[in-house]
Chains A and B, each alone.
Chain A
């Protein structure tokens, strides 16, 4: 069983944090002391998050609209949208202030960052998945599948695998990036309720079991778009957790 939408709205309110309050001064000073391969790996992952979080934040509108007159679900989507916008601002702040990514505005910085990840990852976040999500969320009937894709596969598998990989990478750097680390932990904390919320939406919907299984396969395939930026076992671990999650909330698709 999983809590109702009102619980998530209350929870989200209690978990608010301010990305501007994180002190990144020491991180900025430490960045040039990292060796080149360390900077390349961390920047590659950060680039993926900048692209991914901006895409997720921008694509939640159709979900909120598809909630229709369910005020509780709608409020939960609004709370999540606020979180995703904050995540996007946080990662943009890190790449700008710590990694020194050039560009006077977000669009210019994203252009630079697209060159730091494979084209598959850019296509995944900026074309393929948003298009599918918009189509699915166009009416209430497709909402559960859209949430299955976005909350449970994209966030629960693709992004979660990379978040753990990034924390692991930061743990093993020659220099500490403590402000960045703290922010990513806060992002992860938010993602936990997003995944719980997504589980509730999917659990409450009518039969979509076959689609869930297909979405999981899609998510595992999509996770490969991170390429060498995350270790091979990270995706499988996140996919296993996804399967356990579905069983725990009684979504039977196996």
Chain B
């Protein structure tokens, strides 16, 4: 098993699923969900679903530049 829990590159906008806590990082995309690495969140189709919990795109919230939900 590998564990990757890395901070975002400076200036990268990330989005958190408000229902399960999964974080969308544009650098990684969601290849299994048909979203190639490098895809900005805004360009993801509206019918895409969170890979962890199945929530809709509308259930995601943009993280603020200083907001760190990874800790704790």
A residues within 8 Å of B by Cβ?
1-9, 11, 72, 189, 192-193, 195-197, 199-200, 203-209, 212, 241, 244-245, 247-253
A247 and B51: CB pair below 8 A? Answer: yes
Q: Please give me the residue from chain A that is nearest to B8 by CB atom.
A: A1
Of A3, A11, A207, the contact of B23 (CB 8 Å cutoff): A3
B52 and A199: CB pair below 8 A? Answer: yes
B51 and A245: CB pair below 8 A? Answer: yes
Q: Judge whether B19 is part of the interface by a CB distance below 8 angstroms.
A: yes
Of B1, B25, B70, the contact of A253 (CB 8 Å cutoff): B1
A242 to B30, CA, bound (A): 15
Of B32, B53, B70, the contact of A1 (CB 8 Å cutoff): B70
B16-29 CB mask vs A (1 if < 8 Å, else 0) is: 11111111010000
Tell me the residues in window 40-63 of chain B with beta carbons closer than 8 Å to chain A beta carbons: 51-55
Q: Judge whether B3 is part of the interface by a CB distance below 8 angstroms.
A: yes
A252 to B1, CA, bound (A): 5
Instruction: Count B-side interface residues using an 8 Å CB cutoff.
Output: 27
B residues within 8 Å of A by Cβ?
1-6, 16-23, 25, 30, 32-33, 51-55, 69-72
A236 to B4, CA, bound (A): 28
Given contact pairs A192-B53, A195-B53, A4 touches B69 in the complex (Cβ within 8 A): yes
B1 and A197: CB pair below 8 A? Answer: no
Q: Max chain A CB contacts within 10 Å: which of B2, B19, B71? A: B19
User: Contacts of B33 on A, CB cut-off 8 Å?
Assistant: 244, 248
With A7-B69, A250-B3 known, 16 other A-B pairs at CB within 8 A are A1-B22, A1-B25, A3-B70, A5-B72, A7-B21, A9-B72, A196-B20, A199-B52, A203-B5, A205-B1, A206-B1, A241-B54, A244-B32, A244-B51, A250-B2, A251-B1
A6 to B17, CA, bound (A): 15
A193 and B2: CB pair below 8 A? Answer: no
Q: Please give me the residue from chain A that is nearest to B6 by CB atom.
A: A1
Q: Please give me the residue from chain A that is nearest to B2 by CB atom.
A: A252
Of B4, B5, B22, B72, the contact of A196 (CB 8 Å cutoff): B22
User: Contacts of B16 on A, CB cut-off 8 Å?
Assistant: 3, 7
5 contacts between A and B (CB under 8 A): A2-B20, A4-B69, A196-B17, A209-B1, A250-B4
User: Contacts of B20 on A, CB cut-off 8 Å?
Assistant: 2, 192-193, 195-196, 199
